[in-house]
Amino acid sequence: MTLKRIALAAAVLAFAAAAQAQVPAIDPAQLQANAASLRDQALRGSPAYPFLRDLTTDIGERLAGSEAEHRAAQWAVARLKAMGFQNVHIESFPVPGWTRGEERAELISPSVQKLVVTSLGNAGATPPEGIEAPVALFHTYADMLAQPVGSLSGKIVVVTQPMVRAQDGSGYGALAVMRFMGAAEAEKRGALAYLVRSLSTSDSRLPHTGATDFPPGVAPIPAGALSVPDAEQLDRLSLGGKPLRMHLVLTPTFKPGATSDTVVADVVGRERPDEVVLIGGHLDSWDLGTGAIDDGAGAAIATAAAKLILDMPHAPRRTVRLALFGAEEINFAGPAFAAARSVAEQSHYVVAAECDFGAEPVYAIALPGATAQTPYGAMLAEAIAPLPAYVDRKPARGGGEDIEPLGPHVPLASLQQDGTHYFDIHHSADDTLDKVDAGRMDKAVAAWVAFAYLAADSDVDFRAKPSSP
Q: What is the pLDDT of residue 30?
A: 96
Q: What are phi and psi for residue 107, nearest 5 degrees?
A: -75, 130
Q: Is-contact 244 110, C-beta < 8 A?
A: yes
Backbone angles phi and psi of 282, in degrees to 5: -110, 140
- Nearest-angstrom CA–CA distance, 456 and 434: 34
pLDDT at position 399 is 87
Tell me the three state secondary structure of residue 160.
Answer: coil
Q: CB 25: neighbour CB atoms within 10 A?
A: 7
DSSP-based three-state secondary structure for 348: coil
Burial (CB count within 10 angstroms: exposed 0-12, middle 13-18, buried 19+), residue 236: exposed
CA 7 to CA 2: how far, in whole Å? 9
The answer to whether the CB of 53 falls within 8 A of the CB of 315 is no
Domains of the chain: residue spans and CATH: 26-95+258-457 (3.40.630.10), 98-252 (3.50.30.30)
pLDDT for 455 equals 98
Q: Please report, for residues 208, 306, 394, 424, 428, the alpha-carbon distance to residue 201 in angstroms, rounded to integers and kept in the order given.
A: 10, 32, 27, 5, 12
Q: Give the pLDDT of the chain (469 residues) as one tens digit per residue.
A: 443 443 434 443 343 344 444 545 668 999 999 999 999 999 999 999 999 999 999 999 999 999 999 999 999 999 999 999 999 999 999 999 999 999 999 999 999 999 999 999 999 999 999 999 999 999 999 999 999 999 999 999 999 999 999 999 999 999 999 999 999 999 999 999 999 999 999 999 999 999 999 999 999 999 999 999 999 999 999 999 899 999 999 999 999 999 999 999 999 999 999 999 999 999 999 999 999 999 999 999 999 999 999 999 999 999 999 999 999 999 999 999 999 999 999 999 999 999 999 999 999 999 999 999 999 999 999 999 999 999 999 999 888 999 999 999 999 999 999 999 999 999 999 999 999 999 999 999 999 999 999 999 999 999 987 654 3
61, 328, 329, 360: which is the annotated catalytic residue? 328
Phi and psi dihedrals of 85, rounded to 5? Answer: -70, 155
Where do the DSSP E strands lie in 177-240? 193-197, 223-226
DSSP element (H, E) containing 35: helix 28-44
328 an active-site residue? yes
